[in-house]
Amino acid sequence: MAKVGIIRCQQTEDLCGGTADFQFAAKGKGAFEAVGPSEVVGFVSCGGCPGKRAVARAKMLKERGAEVIVTASCMTLGTPLGFPCPHKDMILAAIRRALGESVTVLDYTHPAPKH
Ligand code: SF4
C-alpha cells in the first residue's frame, strides 16, 4: 500500500472535511490510480496564502513516511467552489524542486464533481 501525504487548501477547510480524498486514496481511484490503494499518513493544509509553507509541510510528510505527496483537488481543481488556487503551479513546482525524485507528486486527489 502506498503511503501518501495530502496537502490541501487552507481556504477550504471550513467547507470540506477531505472525505472524498480519503475515500479515493483507500480505493486507489482518481489520481491514486497511479500508485494504487493508499494509506494517508498525513493530511495538512498549505499553511495559507500564498502557500509557501507547503514545501516545508511536504518535507515533513516525507519524513513521516510519505512516499507520495498529493496536492488535493481543492487546491488544483478548485473543488468544491470551482476556484482553484492561483498559486498552485508555483506550489507544485516548489515541492517538486525541493523533493526531487525522492517522492512521487500527484497534482489532484479526485475528479471535480459535476454541478
Ligand atoms: S495558497 Fe492556494 S491552496 Fe493555499 S490557502 Fe491560498 S488559495 Fe488555498
Q: Ligand 1 centroid to 8 CA: how many Å? A: 8
* Residue 68 located in a structural domain: yes
Q: Ligand 1 centroid to 17 CA: how many Å? A: 16
* Residue 66 located in a structural domain: yes
* Residue 18 located in a structural domain: no
* Residue 92 located in a structural domain: yes
* Residue 7 located in a structural domain: no
pLDDT tens per residue across span 45-59: 999 999 999 999 999
Provide the whole-model pTM.
0.96
* Residue 17 located in a structural domain: no
State if residue 15 touches ligand 1 by the CB under 6 angstroms criterion. no
Instruction: Give the residue numbers spanning the domain of 63.
Output: 52-75+85-106
Sheet with 68-71, edge to edge strand ranges = 38-45, 2-8, 68-71, 104-106
pLDDT tens per residue across span 18-46: 999 999 999 999 999 999 999 999 999 99
Question: Total domain count for the chain?
Answer: 1
Burial of 64 (0-12, 13-18, 19+ CB in 10 A): exposed
* Residue 4 located in a structural domain: no
State if residue 89 touches ligand 1 by the CB under 6 angstroms criterion. no
Ligand 1 closest atom vs CA 12: 8
